[in-house]
Amino acid sequence: MADKKIKLTMVRSANGRLASHKACIAGLGIRKMHQTVEVIDTPENRGMVNKVHYMLEVEEG
């Protein structure tokens, strides 16, 4: 069974953001601007994405 994945691209900088928001970005595996990562679509990852949605571009798939 293939796990559903979501593609995340960081489109806004983490500079000057709350420490918890920076931690969410790091937890999702994003290190720099315009980097794209694929993560498994779990409730935990969705929670982090929802917290920092304003910095990310999300593609379902």
Q: What whole-number distance in Å separates Cα of residue 19 and Cα of residue 60?
A: 27
- In this prediction, residue 2 has a pLDDT band, given cuts at 50, 70 and 90, of low
Give 17-38 pLDDT, tens digit per residue. Answer: 999 999 999 999 999 999 999 9
Q: What whole-number distance in Å separates Cα of residue 33 and Cα of residue 31?
A: 7
Domain count, the chain: 1
Confidence (pTM): 0.89
- In this prediction, residue 50 has a pLDDT band, given cuts at 50, 70 and 90, of very high
Tell me which residue range forms the domain holding 10. Answer: 5-60
For residue 43, give the CATH number of its domain: 3.30.1390.20
pLDDT at 1 over 60: no
